[in-house]
Amino acid sequence: MKRRQFLQQTSLLTAAAFIPFLSRAAGKADPVLLITSGWQDVNIGDIAHTPGLIGLLRKRLPKAKIILWKKSKSQMVEDMLNKYYPEVRIIHGAVNKESEPQSDEVKQAFKEADFFLHGSGPSVVASDYLQAWDKQTGKPFGIFGVTTQNVTPALKDLLVKAAFIFTRETASIEKLKEAGVTGPHIAFAPDATFVLEIHDPARANDFIKANQLESRKFICVIPRLRVTPYYKIRSNNAGWTEQRIREVDELNDKWKEIDHAKVREAMVAWVRTTGNKIVVCPEMTYQVDIIDELLVNPLPDNVKPFVVKHGYWLPDEAASLYAQAHTVLSYECHSPIIAAANGTPAFYLRQPEDTIKGQMYYDLGLKDWTFEINETTGKQINERLMEIHKNYNAARKNVKTSIGKVNQQYDAAFEVIKSKV
Protein backbone atom coordinates (compact mmCIF):
# COMPACT_ATOMS: atom_id res chain seq x y z
CA MET A 1 0.00 0.00 0.00
CA LYS A 2 1.34 3.41 -0.96
CA ARG A 3 1.99 6.10 1.60
CA ARG A 4 -0.70 8.35 0.18
CA GLN A 5 -3.19 5.52 0.60
CA PHE A 6 -2.13 5.11 4.22
CA LEU A 7 -2.63 8.79 4.86
CA GLN A 8 -6.24 8.58 3.75
CA GLN A 9 -6.99 6.26 6.67
CA THR A 10 -5.48 8.03 9.66
CA SER A 11 -8.41 9.41 11.66
CA LEU A 12 -8.38 8.08 15.22
CA LEU A 13 -11.44 6.70 16.93
CA THR A 14 -12.39 8.25 20.27
CA ALA A 15 -14.26 7.04 23.28
CA ALA A 16 -17.41 8.66 21.97
CA ALA A 17 -17.50 6.11 19.19
CA PHE A 18 -18.06 3.37 21.73
CA ILE A 19 -20.98 4.93 23.62
CA PRO A 20 -23.81 3.26 21.64
CA PHE A 21 -22.74 -0.26 22.58
CA LEU A 22 -21.40 0.05 26.13
CA SER A 23 -23.25 -2.14 28.56
CA ARG A 24 -24.91 -0.40 31.50
CA ALA A 25 -24.12 -3.41 33.66
CA ALA A 26 -20.67 -3.35 35.21
CA GLY A 27 -18.33 -6.24 34.49
CA LYS A 28 -16.86 -8.41 37.24
CA ALA A 29 -14.35 -6.66 39.47
CA ASP A 30 -12.10 -9.74 39.60
CA PRO A 31 -12.67 -11.72 36.41
CA VAL A 32 -10.57 -14.72 35.40
CA LEU A 33 -9.13 -13.95 31.98
CA LEU A 34 -7.81 -16.64 29.69
CA ILE A 35 -5.55 -14.97 27.15
CA THR A 36 -3.76 -16.42 24.15
CA SER A 37 -0.51 -15.05 22.78
CA GLY A 38 3.10 -16.14 22.21
CA TRP A 39 3.20 -17.05 18.54
CA GLN A 40 6.94 -17.73 18.19
CA ASP A 41 10.30 -17.04 19.84
CA VAL A 42 12.41 -16.17 16.77
CA ASN A 43 11.17 -12.57 16.75
CA ILE A 44 11.42 -10.19 19.70
CA GLY A 45 8.38 -8.34 18.36
CA ASP A 46 6.24 -11.48 18.57
CA ILE A 47 7.66 -12.21 22.01
CA ALA A 48 6.91 -8.66 23.18
CA HIS A 49 3.20 -8.95 22.39
CA THR A 50 2.72 -11.18 25.42
CA PRO A 51 4.34 -9.15 28.22
CA GLY A 52 2.86 -6.04 26.61
CA LEU A 53 -0.65 -7.45 26.93
CA ILE A 54 -0.10 -8.85 30.42
CA GLY A 55 1.28 -5.53 31.64
CA LEU A 56 -1.61 -3.65 30.07
CA LEU A 57 -4.19 -5.94 31.69
CA ARG A 58 -2.50 -5.71 35.09
CA LYS A 59 -2.63 -1.95 34.92
CA ARG A 60 -6.14 -1.61 33.51
CA LEU A 61 -7.79 -4.60 35.23
CA PRO A 62 -5.66 -4.94 38.39
CA LYS A 63 -7.97 -7.43 40.12
CA ALA A 64 -8.22 -9.82 37.21
CA LYS A 65 -6.58 -13.24 37.36
CA ILE A 66 -4.69 -14.02 34.16
CA ILE A 67 -4.09 -17.44 32.62
CA LEU A 68 -1.86 -17.45 29.53
CA TRP A 69 -2.64 -20.14 26.95
CA LYS A 70 0.63 -19.84 25.09
CA LYS A 71 0.57 -20.84 21.44
CA SER A 72 4.24 -21.83 21.19
CA LYS A 73 6.57 -23.46 23.67
CA SER A 74 9.83 -21.71 24.53
CA GLN A 75 11.64 -22.19 27.80
CA MET A 76 13.66 -18.98 27.46
CA VAL A 77 10.52 -16.90 26.85
CA GLU A 78 8.56 -18.59 29.61
CA ASP A 79 11.44 -18.05 32.03
CA MET A 80 11.37 -14.37 31.10
CA LEU A 81 7.59 -14.15 31.62
CA ASN A 82 7.82 -15.96 34.97
CA LYS A 83 10.50 -13.51 36.06
CA TYR A 84 8.26 -10.47 35.55
CA TYR A 85 4.80 -11.98 36.01
CA PRO A 86 5.10 -14.94 38.42
CA GLU A 87 1.39 -14.78 39.22
CA VAL A 88 0.40 -15.59 35.63
CA ARG A 89 -0.23 -19.29 35.03
CA ILE A 90 1.13 -20.47 31.67
CA ILE A 91 -0.59 -23.41 30.00
CA HIS A 92 -0.19 -25.27 26.72
CA GLY A 93 -2.30 -27.60 24.65
CA ALA A 94 -3.62 -28.04 21.16
CA VAL A 95 -7.21 -28.53 20.03
CA ASN A 96 -8.35 -31.21 17.62
CA LYS A 97 -10.48 -30.90 14.48
CA GLU A 98 -13.63 -31.15 16.62
CA SER A 99 -12.46 -28.10 18.65
CA GLU A 100 -11.76 -30.19 21.72
CA PRO A 101 -8.84 -29.25 24.01
CA GLN A 102 -6.18 -31.93 24.17
CA SER A 103 -4.69 -31.10 27.57
CA ASP A 104 -6.17 -31.20 31.06
CA GLU A 105 -4.77 -27.78 31.92
CA VAL A 106 -6.65 -26.17 29.03
CA LYS A 107 -9.85 -27.99 30.00
CA GLN A 108 -9.46 -26.69 33.56
CA ALA A 109 -8.83 -23.15 32.29
CA PHE A 110 -12.04 -23.37 30.25
CA LYS A 111 -13.92 -24.08 33.49
CA GLU A 112 -12.24 -21.31 35.47
CA ALA A 113 -12.15 -18.44 33.01
CA ASP A 114 -14.92 -15.90 32.57
CA PHE A 115 -13.61 -14.44 29.32
CA PHE A 116 -11.16 -15.38 26.57
CA LEU A 117 -8.97 -12.67 25.02
CA HIS A 118 -6.90 -13.10 21.86
CA GLY A 119 -3.75 -10.95 22.04
CA SER A 120 -1.90 -8.81 19.50
CA GLY A 121 -0.58 -10.45 16.38
CA PRO A 122 -0.25 -10.38 12.60
CA SER A 123 -3.67 -12.02 12.27
CA VAL A 124 -6.17 -13.92 14.40
CA VAL A 125 -3.37 -16.43 14.88
CA ALA A 126 -5.21 -18.63 17.38
CA SER A 127 -8.57 -18.79 15.64
CA ASP A 128 -8.65 -22.53 16.43
CA TYR A 129 -8.36 -21.71 20.14
CA LEU A 130 -11.19 -19.18 19.88
CA GLN A 131 -13.32 -21.73 18.04
CA ALA A 132 -12.73 -24.31 20.75
CA TRP A 133 -13.55 -21.84 23.52
CA ASP A 134 -16.76 -20.78 21.81
CA LYS A 135 -17.88 -24.32 21.05
CA GLN A 136 -16.99 -25.85 24.42
CA THR A 137 -17.99 -23.04 26.79
CA GLY A 138 -20.33 -20.61 25.04
CA LYS A 139 -18.69 -17.90 27.16
CA PRO A 140 -17.71 -14.53 25.64
CA PHE A 141 -14.46 -13.75 23.89
CA GLY A 142 -12.76 -10.73 22.37
CA ILE A 143 -9.84 -9.85 20.13
CA PHE A 144 -7.27 -7.20 21.00
CA GLY A 145 -4.74 -5.45 18.77
CA VAL A 146 -4.58 -7.70 15.70
CA THR A 147 -4.18 -7.16 11.99
CA THR A 148 -7.03 -8.62 9.93
CA GLN A 149 -5.74 -8.46 6.40
CA ASN A 150 -7.30 -11.70 5.15
CA VAL A 151 -10.77 -12.68 6.41
CA THR A 152 -11.82 -16.16 5.32
CA PRO A 153 -15.47 -17.28 5.51
CA ALA A 154 -14.64 -19.48 8.53
CA LEU A 155 -12.93 -16.59 10.31
CA LYS A 156 -15.85 -14.30 9.51
CA ASP A 157 -18.25 -16.75 11.16
CA LEU A 158 -16.10 -16.58 14.28
CA LEU A 159 -15.56 -12.83 14.29
CA VAL A 160 -19.25 -11.97 14.20
CA LYS A 161 -19.60 -13.73 17.57
CA ALA A 162 -16.86 -11.66 19.27
CA ALA A 163 -17.81 -9.30 22.10
CA PHE A 164 -15.35 -6.84 20.56
CA ILE A 165 -12.65 -6.71 17.90
CA PHE A 166 -9.86 -4.21 18.40
CA THR A 167 -7.52 -3.99 15.43
CA ARG A 168 -3.99 -2.65 15.82
CA GLU A 169 -4.37 -0.21 12.90
CA THR A 170 -7.32 1.35 11.12
CA ALA A 171 -6.54 -0.38 7.81
CA SER A 172 -7.78 -3.66 9.32
CA ILE A 173 -11.16 -2.11 10.06
CA GLU A 174 -11.54 -1.44 6.35
CA LYS A 175 -10.61 -5.04 5.60
CA LEU A 176 -13.29 -6.24 8.02
CA LYS A 177 -15.85 -4.01 6.34
CA GLU A 178 -14.92 -5.41 2.95
CA ALA A 179 -15.50 -8.90 4.35
CA GLY A 180 -18.90 -7.91 5.73
CA VAL A 181 -17.85 -7.80 9.38
CA THR A 182 -19.16 -4.51 10.75
CA GLY A 183 -20.65 -3.09 13.90
CA PRO A 184 -19.97 -0.90 16.91
CA HIS A 185 -17.94 -3.68 18.53
CA ILE A 186 -15.10 -3.05 16.05
CA ALA A 187 -12.56 -0.31 16.74
CA PHE A 188 -8.86 0.60 16.85
CA ALA A 189 -6.56 -0.23 19.78
CA PRO A 190 -2.80 -0.21 19.21
CA ASP A 191 -0.51 -3.21 19.41
CA ALA A 192 0.11 -4.11 23.06
CA THR A 193 3.86 -3.79 22.48
CA PHE A 194 3.40 -0.01 22.77
CA VAL A 195 3.09 -0.47 26.54
CA LEU A 196 5.91 -2.97 27.02
CA GLU A 197 7.13 -2.39 30.58
CA ILE A 198 9.80 -5.06 31.09
CA HIS A 199 13.51 -4.20 31.18
CA ASP A 200 16.86 -5.88 31.69
CA PRO A 201 19.14 -2.93 32.50
CA ALA A 202 21.95 -5.14 33.78
CA ARG A 203 22.48 -6.86 30.44
CA ALA A 204 22.03 -3.64 28.49
CA ASN A 205 24.47 -1.76 30.69
CA ASP A 206 27.05 -4.54 30.40
CA PHE A 207 26.80 -4.25 26.61
CA ILE A 208 27.04 -0.46 26.75
CA LYS A 209 30.11 -0.58 28.99
CA ALA A 210 31.83 -3.31 26.97
CA ASN A 211 31.40 -1.32 23.75
CA GLN A 212 32.09 2.14 25.21
CA LEU A 213 28.70 3.53 24.22
CA GLU A 214 27.33 6.77 25.61
CA SER A 215 23.69 7.14 26.57
CA ARG A 216 21.61 8.96 23.92
CA LYS A 217 24.63 9.24 21.61
CA PHE A 218 24.39 5.98 19.64
CA ILE A 219 21.81 4.90 17.10
CA CYS A 220 20.49 1.37 16.54
CA VAL A 221 19.88 -0.09 13.08
CA ILE A 222 17.84 -3.24 12.34
CA PRO A 223 17.88 -4.95 8.91
CA ARG A 224 15.15 -7.00 7.22
CA LEU A 225 14.70 -8.97 4.03
CA ARG A 226 11.55 -8.35 2.01
CA VAL A 227 10.06 -11.74 2.98
CA THR A 228 11.15 -13.59 6.10
CA PRO A 229 12.95 -16.79 5.03
CA TYR A 230 11.18 -19.10 7.44
CA TYR A 231 12.53 -22.11 5.61
CA LYS A 232 15.92 -21.23 7.16
CA ILE A 233 14.46 -20.83 10.64
CA ARG A 234 12.02 -23.69 11.14
CA SER A 235 12.46 -27.43 10.77
CA ASN A 236 11.56 -29.22 7.54
CA ASN A 237 11.84 -25.96 5.59
CA ALA A 238 8.66 -24.68 7.27
CA GLY A 239 6.67 -26.69 4.74
CA TRP A 240 7.84 -24.48 1.87
CA THR A 241 8.10 -25.95 -1.60
CA GLU A 242 11.28 -25.60 -3.62
CA GLN A 243 9.43 -23.18 -5.87
CA ARG A 244 8.38 -21.03 -2.90
CA ILE A 245 11.95 -20.99 -1.59
CA ARG A 246 13.29 -20.00 -5.00
CA GLU A 247 10.72 -17.20 -5.41
CA VAL A 248 11.42 -15.75 -1.96
CA ASP A 249 15.19 -15.91 -2.41
CA GLU A 250 14.93 -14.18 -5.79
CA LEU A 251 12.76 -11.41 -4.33
CA ASN A 252 15.05 -10.90 -1.35
CA ASP A 253 18.19 -10.93 -3.48
CA LYS A 254 16.68 -8.36 -5.82
CA TRP A 255 15.98 -5.82 -3.09
CA LYS A 256 18.31 -6.42 -0.15
CA GLU A 257 21.16 -4.23 -1.39
CA ILE A 258 18.85 -1.53 -2.76
CA ASP A 259 17.01 -1.30 0.54
CA HIS A 260 19.97 -1.35 2.89
CA ALA A 261 22.13 1.01 0.88
CA LYS A 262 19.63 3.69 1.88
CA VAL A 263 20.04 3.23 5.60
CA ARG A 264 23.82 2.84 5.22
CA GLU A 265 23.90 6.34 3.76
CA ALA A 266 22.40 7.62 7.02
CA MET A 267 24.81 5.46 9.05
CA VAL A 268 27.84 6.94 7.28
CA ALA A 269 26.55 10.47 7.73
CA TRP A 270 25.82 9.82 11.42
CA VAL A 271 29.38 8.75 12.14
CA ARG A 272 31.01 11.49 10.07
CA THR A 273 28.77 14.26 11.40
CA THR A 274 28.58 13.31 15.08
CA GLY A 275 31.55 11.02 15.68
CA ASN A 276 29.16 8.76 17.61
CA LYS A 277 28.63 5.02 17.42
CA ILE A 278 26.06 2.69 15.84
CA VAL A 279 24.67 -0.59 17.17
CA VAL A 280 23.48 -3.00 14.48
CA CYS A 281 21.09 -5.51 16.00
CA PRO A 282 18.41 -8.05 15.05
CA GLU A 283 14.69 -8.26 15.62
CA MET A 284 14.60 -11.81 14.24
CA THR A 285 17.09 -14.65 14.59
CA TYR A 286 17.95 -14.89 10.88
CA GLN A 287 19.07 -11.26 10.82
CA VAL A 288 22.17 -12.09 12.84
CA ASP A 289 23.47 -13.76 9.68
CA ILE A 290 22.78 -10.82 7.34
CA ILE A 291 24.01 -7.93 9.49
CA ASP A 292 27.56 -8.08 8.17
CA GLU A 293 26.55 -8.49 4.54
CA LEU A 294 23.98 -5.68 4.46
CA LEU A 295 24.95 -3.22 7.19
CA VAL A 296 28.65 -3.56 8.07
CA ASN A 297 30.88 -4.90 5.29
CA PRO A 298 29.89 -2.32 2.63
CA LEU A 299 30.67 0.63 4.95
CA PRO A 300 33.77 2.79 4.36
CA ASP A 301 36.80 1.64 6.33
CA ASN A 302 36.82 4.82 8.42
CA VAL A 303 33.21 4.20 9.52
CA LYS A 304 33.41 0.51 10.45
CA PRO A 305 35.28 1.09 13.76
CA PHE A 306 32.25 3.02 15.03
CA VAL A 307 29.88 0.09 14.48
CA VAL A 308 29.21 -2.62 17.08
CA LYS A 309 27.05 -5.71 16.71
CA HIS A 310 24.53 -7.29 19.04
CA GLY A 311 23.39 -10.90 18.82
CA TYR A 312 19.84 -12.18 19.15
CA TRP A 313 18.24 -11.17 22.39
CA LEU A 314 14.96 -10.89 24.30
CA PRO A 315 12.71 -7.83 24.34
CA ASP A 316 13.52 -6.85 27.92
CA GLU A 317 17.18 -6.31 27.04
CA ALA A 318 16.25 -4.65 23.74
CA ALA A 319 13.94 -2.27 25.61
CA SER A 320 16.73 -1.28 27.99
CA LEU A 321 19.21 -0.66 25.17
CA TYR A 322 16.70 1.24 23.02
CA ALA A 323 15.86 3.36 26.07
CA GLN A 324 19.43 4.70 25.99
CA ALA A 325 19.72 5.01 22.21
CA HIS A 326 19.51 8.34 20.42
CA THR A 327 17.32 6.98 17.60
CA VAL A 328 16.32 3.54 16.29
CA LEU A 329 16.22 2.96 12.51
CA SER A 330 14.47 -0.28 11.66
CA TYR A 331 13.17 -2.17 8.65
CA GLU A 332 11.23 -4.28 11.16
CA CYS A 333 7.97 -3.03 12.64
CA HIS A 334 8.33 -3.71 16.35
CA SER A 335 11.74 -2.34 17.31
CA PRO A 336 10.45 1.20 16.68
CA ILE A 337 7.46 0.41 18.90
CA ILE A 338 9.70 -0.86 21.71
CA ALA A 339 11.83 2.27 21.30
CA ALA A 340 8.80 4.58 21.42
CA ALA A 341 7.52 2.82 24.53
CA ASN A 342 10.81 3.89 26.13
CA GLY A 343 10.74 7.50 24.93
CA THR A 344 13.20 7.06 22.06
CA PRO A 345 12.62 8.45 18.54
CA ALA A 346 12.47 5.74 15.88
CA PHE A 347 12.15 5.38 12.12
CA TYR A 348 10.13 2.63 10.51
CA LEU A 349 11.64 1.89 7.09
CA ARG A 350 8.66 0.10 5.64
CA GLN A 351 8.95 -2.46 2.88
CA PRO A 352 5.75 -3.03 0.87
CA GLU A 353 5.74 -6.77 1.62
CA ASP A 354 5.42 -6.09 5.36
CA THR A 355 1.57 -6.12 5.46
CA ILE A 356 -0.89 -3.36 6.35
CA LYS A 357 0.27 -3.27 9.98
CA GLY A 358 2.45 -0.27 9.12
CA GLN A 359 -0.71 1.84 9.08
CA MET A 360 -0.42 2.02 12.88
CA TYR A 361 2.43 4.52 12.54
CA TYR A 362 0.26 6.89 10.56
CA ASP A 363 -2.67 6.36 12.92
CA LEU A 364 -0.52 7.51 15.84
CA GLY A 365 0.91 10.64 14.22
CA LEU A 366 4.31 9.19 13.28
CA LYS A 367 4.11 9.72 9.51
CA ASP A 368 7.23 11.92 9.47
CA TRP A 369 9.27 9.00 10.82
CA THR A 370 7.68 6.39 8.56
CA PHE A 371 9.47 5.86 5.26
CA GLU A 372 7.89 3.85 2.46
CA ILE A 373 11.21 2.44 1.34
CA ASN A 374 10.39 2.22 -2.38
CA GLU A 375 9.57 5.93 -2.34
CA THR A 376 12.48 6.98 -0.10
CA THR A 377 16.11 7.89 -0.68
CA GLY A 378 19.02 7.49 1.68
CA LYS A 379 19.37 11.27 1.67
CA GLN A 380 15.84 11.66 3.03
CA ILE A 381 16.49 9.23 5.87
CA ASN A 382 19.74 10.98 6.72
CA GLU A 383 18.20 14.47 6.60
CA ARG A 384 15.41 13.43 8.97
CA LEU A 385 17.93 11.86 11.33
CA MET A 386 19.98 15.06 11.36
CA GLU A 387 16.83 17.07 12.06
CA ILE A 388 16.25 14.95 15.15
CA HIS A 389 19.89 15.34 16.17
CA LYS A 390 19.63 19.15 15.96
CA ASN A 391 16.37 19.33 17.91
CA TYR A 392 16.38 16.25 20.07
CA ASN A 393 14.11 17.56 22.80
CA ALA A 394 11.37 18.27 20.27
CA ALA A 395 11.75 14.77 18.83
CA ARG A 396 11.36 13.16 22.24
CA LYS A 397 8.33 15.33 22.87
CA ASN A 398 6.87 13.99 19.64
CA VAL A 399 7.35 10.44 20.93
CA LYS A 400 5.58 11.37 24.15
CA THR A 401 2.67 12.82 22.19
CA SER A 402 2.29 9.63 20.16
CA ILE A 403 2.35 7.45 23.27
CA GLY A 404 -0.32 9.77 24.67
CA LYS A 405 -2.47 8.90 21.65
CA VAL A 406 -1.87 5.22 22.35
CA ASN A 407 -3.13 5.65 25.89
CA GLN A 408 -6.20 7.55 24.69
CA GLN A 409 -7.06 4.60 22.47
CA TYR A 410 -6.56 2.22 25.38
CA ASP A 411 -8.79 4.39 27.58
CA ALA A 412 -11.60 3.97 25.06
CA ALA A 413 -10.92 0.28 24.51
CA PHE A 414 -10.96 -0.60 28.18
CA GLU A 415 -14.24 1.14 28.76
CA VAL A 416 -15.60 -1.52 26.44
CA ILE A 417 -13.52 -4.38 27.80
CA LYS A 418 -14.50 -3.68 31.41
CA SER A 419 -18.15 -3.83 30.44
CA LYS A 420 -17.75 -7.19 28.69
CA VAL A 421 -15.62 -9.22 31.09
- pLDDT string in tens for the chain (421-residue length): 444 444 444 433 333 333 333 333 346 779 999 999 999 999 999 999 999 999 999 999 999 999 999 999 999 999 999 999 999 999 999 999 999 999 999 999 999 999 999 999 999 999 999 999 999 999 999 999 999 999 999 999 999 999 999 999 999 999 999 999 998 899 999 999 999 999 999 999 999 999 999 999 999 999 999 999 999 998 888 889 999 999 999 999 999 999 999 999 999 999 999 999 999 999 999 999 999 999 999 999 999 999 999 999 999 999 999 999 999 999 999 999 999 999 999 999 999 999 999 999 999 999 999 999 999 999 999 999 999 999 999 999 999 999 999 999 999 999 999 999 9
pTM over 0.85: yes
| Residue 170 identity (one-letter amino acid) | T
201-390 has which CATH code? 3.40.50.2000
* Domain 3-194+406-420 identical in fold to domain 201-390: yes
Cβ contact 298:264 at 8 Å: yes
For the chain, what are the domain ranges? Answer: 3-194+406-420, 201-390
> Which distant-in-sequence residues (6+ apart) come within 8 Å of 121 by Cβ?
37, 39, 46, 49, 145, 146, 147
How far is Cα 107 from Cα 404, in angstroms, rounded to an integer?
39
Cα–Cα distances (Å) from 239 to 123, 170, 224, 245, in that order, read 19, 32, 22, 10
Q: What angle do CA 81, 85, 89 make, to 5 degrees?
A: 85
Closest CA to 285 of 28, 42, 6: 42
For domain 3-194+406-420, give the fold. Answer: Rossmann fold (3.40.50)
Closest CA to 189 of 117, 237, 238: 117
E strand spans, 247-356: 278-280, 307-309, 327-330, 346-350
Residue 202's H or E segment, with its range, is helix 201-210
Cβ contact 90:81 at 8 Å: yes
